[in-house]
Structure 1
Amino acid sequence: MSKNTYDASNITVLEGLDAVRKRPGMYIGSTGERGLHHLVYEVVDNSVDEALAGYCTDINISLMPDGSLQVVDNGRGIPVDMHPVEKKPALEVVLTVLHAGGKFGDGGYSVSGGLHGVGISVVNALSTDLAVQVKRDGFNWFQEYKLGVPQAPVRKGEATTDTGTTVTFWPSSEIFETTDFSFEVLSTRFREMAFLNKGLVLTLTDLRPGHVDEKGEPLYVRYHYEGGIIDFVKHLNQTKGETHKSIISFVADETKHKMSLEVAMQWNAGFTESVYTFANTIHTHEGGAHEEGFRTALTSVVNKFGEEWGFIRKKEDRLTGEDIREGLTAIVSIKLAEPQFEGQTKTKLGNTEAKSFTQKSMNDHLTSWFEQNPGEGKDIVRKSIDAAAARVAARKARDLSRNRKGLLEGRGMPGKLADCQWTEPEKCELYIVEGDSAGGSTKGGRDSRYQAVLPIRGKILNVEKARIDRVLQNNEVQSLITALGTGIHDDFDVAKLRYHKIILMADADVDGQHIRTLLLTLLFRFMRPLIENGFVYLAQPPLYKLKWGG
């Protein structure tokens, strides 16, 4: 079969569509906002598959005034000839049979995006209406559906020399909790897609009434990155100082398992690791084989050159992976023919061959880069050694903190906890307030049975810009950590939380907003489960006070 062949014989059918409307969560994850947006990604993934195969350059997505969403691409168009097995047009098969598409088997696409891989038919099944227009084989072709059922056979329209597919769908309000698409959620995802598919143009237009910019024009974004993931790293590092000028990047291919790998990375002056991994353009939040290979090779190569250049003299001085990844921004994007997704959210890559391929490719290319760029390489090693020193200091600080007396017994604390009487955490609240003055008035107005108050002095340390050893030496941070009782990072235990409502109460001004942001950053970086599990609240302080008489 010719490489360029893409017709009905490439469409492989795995199973029917009956169960989708009964159990939509099995196919798109949920019927909430996340599931709603997954419908969009399924349609756009079809167009991205055409781009990966080299046949599509532009994908235009529009949020329509009537609540529908439209996706237009300039790919080859979904085939419309008769399917050899199903005995109906391939277009109808793709839209009515689950898992039918050019992603399966040896025909069609060698690499395909999409997390669940259920295909566009699931979008059809979960929509009240769907309309498709295909430009292919010299003509326009049309078909309409209601609740996944074709309303008429595929019909032939006017002649055209163009190619492409247009899909418009109206999600079912009986199935989804909301049918209101988020421009922000979609634009974030499409920017990511554009970074991962070098040269692809993605546009998003919001034509819904009232969805306009400051000039009164419809919301619109256009994403196009000729630099691909190199531009992605530049974007992520644009507000951070750099440790070295160059962005390390490479591309590698493996023919046996039909894999390709792209990596771009650069260390910045910050202290946070920002390594993002993708498999077939899907963000693998839980990592997996490719991330393991990347980390193993990175740790090995940096230690190797640290020893060669005389920075590391003893075995016990070897750098840990965490030391080396401090301040690292990296994009690891692998594409493979048959990805195996695992984990709680199916965003962990399980292909073992991806680990060895990524590890070998990283080892070869990173070694070559360090050999050719010793000046910048030494800057990276020095930064990693500084991180190791901070790690040791932080461990000592944590040990010291654990051995200290609790907050209630401590002396010289800048903020004094006024605790509550009840001891059941699920009934207790902690108000974190700005300064002793606010602390005094809050204590006077609280219900001391279940409401505790912790005043903090002014603006706490910005933990985003400080190493952990400095963070743990800060009195205000120590007071808060001890009052909450959970510990931090690896020592965190939500079962030890002393209050199930942590309420941040600062003034309704710019300084108050800054204090809230600093506190949220501390909780997010050191005690993230508190935010994820809904224990953290923001109080809404009054802006004005009205006084009657006297």
Structure 2
Amino acid sequence: MVNENNGRIYTAEEIQVLTGLEPVRKRPGMYIGSTGERGLHQLVYEVVDNSVDEALAGVCDTIKVWIDKDNSITVEDNGSGIPVEIHPQTGKSTVETVLTILHAGGKFNNSAYKVSGGLHGVGVSVVNALSEWLIVKVKRNGKEYMQKFKRGVPVTELEIIGEADSTGTTISFKPDKEIFDVVEFDYKTLEFRFREMAFLNKGILIILEDRRTNTKNKFHYEGGIKSFVEYMNKNKNPIHKDIIYFEGEKDNTVVELSMQYTDSYSENIYTFANNINTQEGGTHLSGFRTALTRAINDYGRKYNYLKEKDENLQGEDVREGLTAILSVKLFEPQFEGQTKTKLGNNEVRGIVESLVYDYLTTYLEENPKSGKVILEKAINAARAREAARKAREISRKRSILDSITLPGKLADCQEDNVELTEVFIVEGDSAGGSAKQGRDRKYQAVLPLRGKIMNVEKARIDKMLESEEIKAMIAAFGTGIGNEFDVEKLRYGKIIIMTDADVDGSHIRTLLLTFFYRYMRKLLENGNIYIAQPPLYKVTKGKTEHYVYSDKELDELLEKIGRSNYTIQRYKGLGEMNPEQLWETTMDPEKRILLKVSIEDAMAADEIFTTLMGDRVRPRREFIRKNAKMVKNLDI
């Protein structure tokens, strides 16, 4: 770690005050991104980030987080404790200063923290401002102190409540329901983030407890990001046994890399800067990609895997099947964008490229068996890429849609404005016919597919492009795929998966979502993909018809209309509905129910798709066993 503290406890003078707190409650989205689930959980991350910063400074090794039964959160660490002395600028205790003034904290002063992961631009003061109540307890100087706040305003002074033989900070808070759309924390969301944090900071212990359900987990990984890659690949098939790992430092920037190739066809590279998940990449990712491509090409040339007449391998070739974690820790990270998901420090690109190239060159020289399988995989990926290029060229010369032999072709809409258009992907002639007749032709298109599409998790791009159904979708959407993917060319603002409410329909949805995730991920990230919700039942009583979308809704309806003199029709397929019914229940924007598909966490999504659609049976069986109790509408 880059750390000038050497375990030294920071002081009140090192806490620098930048601005006030007043705007936070008026515009909370500016500070935490949203007032939905993402913003709600960001409150927890902000508090925990402060504790992790203490760990980076060498004064904390254990962080406890628990959700209480009232949906409040407590975060406890054994760090040095927030200073309690009077702050020279504010005239108030440093505890109160940190909790009531925006951007007041040790990480804004260079002498307190050399590396800070929690510098999200907001901090614990924003958590205080957006909480119904907050209580802070500090153990420091042999005493325990406490102060209480309500919606960011102190309701007590900082007072001594007892003696203490250790140090640390405990913050408890309850999000304000006047601010947030939802105030119930999701254990799985927190679990994933804290596992990630423990991987990124080897040796730290994070304990997460849910007192609502008596669930508890401990996250502690001495192997750090090496253990992270091992965890990510647990349901995959590595092509070399060892996990490639190194840690290096240059110009006060620490670079840590862990990577391993598998026999899959997709790349999974995750980058972090000061523990922050840089989902949009940045200069550290650019440096890594350049170094990886150059090192493998140089090795291939030197040992004749690549002949003189062969072209160099491209970046996508050398990254096929790669799982990698790249973590950099630097003094003053510069992030692009409000949500801080792209690293912008230009000097980091050269640092990462230099360190990674030197290490990978040495690794390949010292591990010729691994070098051989890595080169062979990259060369096979290059051949597949070339085959796919030729297939696309052929497709451009003749309209793909004209060459499709499906019984039903794309029924396009009249509107050209992408923001207004939508395309329904349906399976089969019957449903396709009803959808075409029932739709609003002005802005709704219909693309029928024949049966289940190819499982792209088990196929390279060249084989995938032999599928008529997949070619039809690519042509209809207009975006292209892979390196040629361009979201600006998307022809429809909404792509709606409309399948039967049975097991086969669920399988088709999963296959389609796997395709979108692996080859058109930007559509998921942008919120262009939706799942239609056709009714499960039609309940008729007299001349009145009711469409019902869940078993719970059915029970509620039957209680309301009386449990006699009615008939229930269970819809197993969209084809059972005539065009008018399909429009009224599933396609009419005024009445329908659509579920937007989004990626809150790419690593969690990758794990699910690998488990469900990959080659290994045992992880899939275990996944089904664990989640069977959540299955609804199972056809048997």
- 1:240 and 2:236 are equivalent in the alignment: yes
| Residue aligning to 1:105 | 109
Counting aligned pairs with the same residue, the percent is: 55
Query: Compared with structure 1, are the counterparts of its residues 372 and 435 closer, same or farther at alpha carbon in structure 2 (3 Å cutoff)?
Result: same
SS of equivalent to 1:21:
helix
SS of equivalent to 2:380:
helix
SS of equivalent to 1:46:
helix
Are 1:68 and 1:170, in contact at CA under 8 Å, matched by a contact in 2?
A: yes
Give the AA of the match of 2:406: P
CA distance in 1 between partners of 2:479 and 2:286 (Å): 30
Query: Compared with structure 1, are the counterparts of its residues 33 and 328 closer, same or farther at alpha carbon in structure 2 (3 Å cutoff)?
Result: same
Displacement of 1:463: 1.4
Deviations 1:32-81 (A, max 9, x none): 33222222111101110111112212111112222321111111211212
Give the AA of the match of 2:308: K
Aligned-residue CA RMSD (Å):
2.7
| Residue aligning to 2:286 | 292
CA distance in 1 between partners of 2:421 and 2:407 (Å): 19
SS of equivalent to 1:92:
helix
| Residue aligning to 2:586 | none
Q: Which moved more, 1:218-227 or 1:70-79?
A: 218-227
SS of equivalent to 1:302:
helix
Are 1:131 and 1:169, in contact at CA under 8 Å, matched by a contact in 2?
A: yes
Displacement of 1:28: 2.4
SS of equivalent to 1:20:
helix
CA distance in 2 between partners of 1:392 and 1:361 (Å): 31
| Residue aligning to 1:39 | 43
| Residue aligning to 1:65 | 69
Deviations 1:383-437 (A, max 9, x none): 1111111111111011111112342x33x61342262674557676544333345
Query: Compared with structure 1, are the counterparts of its residues 109 and 389 closer, same or farther at alpha carbon in structure 2 (3 Å cutoff)?
Result: same
Deviations 1:295-326 (A, max 9, x none): 11111111111011101123752111111111
Give the AA of the match of 1:386: N
SS of equivalent to 2:108:
coil
TM-score by length of 1: 0.90
Are 2:266 and 2:518, in contact at CA under 8 Å, matched by a contact in 1?
A: no
- 1:150 and 2:154 are equivalent in the alignment: yes
Are 2:268 and 2:323, in contact at CA under 8 Å, matched by a contact in 1?
A: yes
- 1:365 and 2:369 are equivalent in the alignment: no
Residue of structure 2 aligned with 1:511, choices 496, 504, 508:
504
Residue of structure 2 aligned with 1:252, choices 248, 252, 271:
248
Deviations 1:314-354 (A, max 9, x none): 37521111111111111111111111111463221122222
| Residue aligning to 2:450 | 457
CA distance in 1 between partners of 2:491 and 2:290 (Å): 39
Q: Which moved more, 1:497-506 or 1:65-74?
A: 497-506
Q: Which moved more, 1:75-84 or 1:222-231?
A: 75-84
| Residue aligning to 1:93 | 97
Residue of structure 1 aligned with 2:275, choices 281, 284, 297:
281
Q: Which moved more, 1:37-46 or 1:340-349?
A: 340-349
- 1:124 and 2:128 are equivalent in the alignment: yes
TM-score by length of 2: 0.78
Query: Compared with structure 1, are the counterparts of its residues 316 and 536 closer, same or farther at alpha carbon in structure 2 (3 Å cutoff)?
Result: same
Query: Compared with structure 1, are the counterparts of its residues 334 and 430 closer, same or farther at alpha carbon in structure 2 (3 Å cutoff)?
Result: closer
Structure 1's unaligned 5+ residue stretches are: 213-217
Are 2:411 and 2:436, in contact at CA under 8 Å, matched by a contact in 1?
A: no
Deviations 1:419-463 (A, max 9, x none): 267455767654433334554566676677776554433221111
Displacement of 1:91: 1.5
| Residue aligning to 1:215 | none
Query: Compared with structure 1, are the counterparts of its residues 145 and 453 closer, same or farther at alpha carbon in structure 2 (3 Å cutoff)?
Result: closer
Are 1:115 and 1:282, in contact at CA under 8 Å, matched by a contact in 2?
A: no
Q: Which moved more, 1:308-317 or 1:257-266?
A: 308-317
Residue of structure 2 aligned with 1:191, choices 191, 195, 199:
195
Give the AA of the match of 1:508: A
SS of equivalent to 1:145:
strand
SS of equivalent to 1:78:
coil
- 1:17 and 2:59 are equivalent in the alignment: no
| Residue aligning to 2:584 | none
CA distance in 1 between partners of 2:142 and 2:413 (Å): 79
- 1:419 and 2:404 are equivalent in the alignment: no
| Residue aligning to 1:323 | 317
Q: How does 1:127-526 map to 2 (within 5 A)?
A: 127-208=131-212, 212=213, 218-254=214-250, 257-314=251-308, 317-343=311-337, 345-407=339-401, 409-410=402-403, 413-417=405-409, 419=411, 422=414, 430-436=423-429, 438-439=431-432, 453-492=446-485, 500-526=493-519
Are 2:279 and 2:342, in contact at CA under 8 Å, matched by a contact in 1?
A: yes
CA distance in 2 between partners of 1:478 and 1:38 (Å): 40
Query: Compared with structure 1, are the counterparts of its residues 315 and 95 closer, same or farther at alpha carbon in structure 2 (3 Å cutoff)?
Result: farther
CA distance in 1 between partners of 2:260 and 2:104 (Å): 41
Deviations 1:169-200 (A, max 9, x none): 12222233332222222222111111101121
Are 2:5 and 2:114, in contact at CA under 8 Å, matched by a contact in 1?
A: no
Query: Compared with structure 1, are the counterparts of its residues 468 and 150 closer, same or farther at alpha carbon in structure 2 (3 Å cutoff)?
Result: same
Query: Compared with structure 1, are the counterparts of its residues 170 and 465 closer, same or farther at alpha carbon in structure 2 (3 Å cutoff)?
Result: same
Q: Which moved more, 1:52-61 or 1:427-436?
A: 427-436
CA distance in 2 between partners of 1:16 and 1:308 (Å): 60
SS of equivalent to 2:374:
helix
Are 1:413 and 1:479, in contact at CA under 8 Å, matched by a contact in 2?
A: no
Are 1:21 and 1:125, in contact at CA under 8 Å, matched by a contact in 2?
A: yes
Structure 2's unaligned 5+ residue stretches are: 541-566, 569-636
Query: Compared with structure 1, are the counterparts of its residues 2 and 293 closer, same or farther at alpha carbon in structure 2 (3 Å cutoff)?
Result: closer
Query: Compared with structure 1, are the counterparts of its residues 161 and 359 closer, same or farther at alpha carbon in structure 2 (3 Å cutoff)?
Result: same
Give the AA of the match of 2:510: T
Displacement of 1:480: 2.7
Are 1:415 and 1:476, in contact at CA under 8 Å, matched by a contact in 2?
A: no
Are 1:61 and 1:69, in contact at CA under 8 Å, matched by a contact in 2?
A: yes
Query: Compared with structure 1, are the counterparts of its residues 151 and 462 closer, same or farther at alpha carbon in structure 2 (3 Å cutoff)?
Result: same
Query: Compared with structure 1, are the counterparts of its residues 439 and 222 closer, same or farther at alpha carbon in structure 2 (3 Å cutoff)?
Result: same
CA distance in 1 between partners of 2:349 and 2:328 (Å): 10
Deviations 1:205-264 (A, max 9, x none): 2224xxx3xxxxx2332212121101110111111111211101011123xx43212110
Query: Compared with structure 1, are the counterparts of its residues 119 and 327 closer, same or farther at alpha carbon in structure 2 (3 Å cutoff)?
Result: same
Q: How many residues align?
A: 537
Query: Compared with structure 1, are the counterparts of its residues 319 and 66 closer, same or farther at alpha carbon in structure 2 (3 Å cutoff)?
Result: same
CA distance in 2 between partners of 1:89 and 1:542 (Å): 59
Displacement of 1:496: 5.7
SS of equivalent to 1:55:
coil
Give the AA of the match of 2:405: M
CA distance in 2 between partners of 1:87 and 1:423 (Å): 63
CA distance in 2 between partners of 1:2 and 1:168 (Å): 28
Query: Compared with structure 1, are the counterparts of its residues 448 and 361 closer, same or farther at alpha carbon in structure 2 (3 Å cutoff)?
Result: closer
CA distance in 2 between partners of 1:84 and 1:452 (Å): 66
Give the AA of the match of 2:408: K
CA distance in 2 between partners of 1:106 and 1:451 (Å): 57
Query: Compared with structure 1, are the counterparts of its residues 423 and 164 closer, same or farther at alpha carbon in structure 2 (3 Å cutoff)?
Result: closer
Are 1:417 and 1:483, in contact at CA under 8 Å, matched by a contact in 2?
A: no
CA distance in 2 between partners of 1:94 and 1:446 (Å): 57
Are 1:390 and 1:469, in contact at CA under 8 Å, matched by a contact in 2?
A: yes
| Residue aligning to 2:556 | none
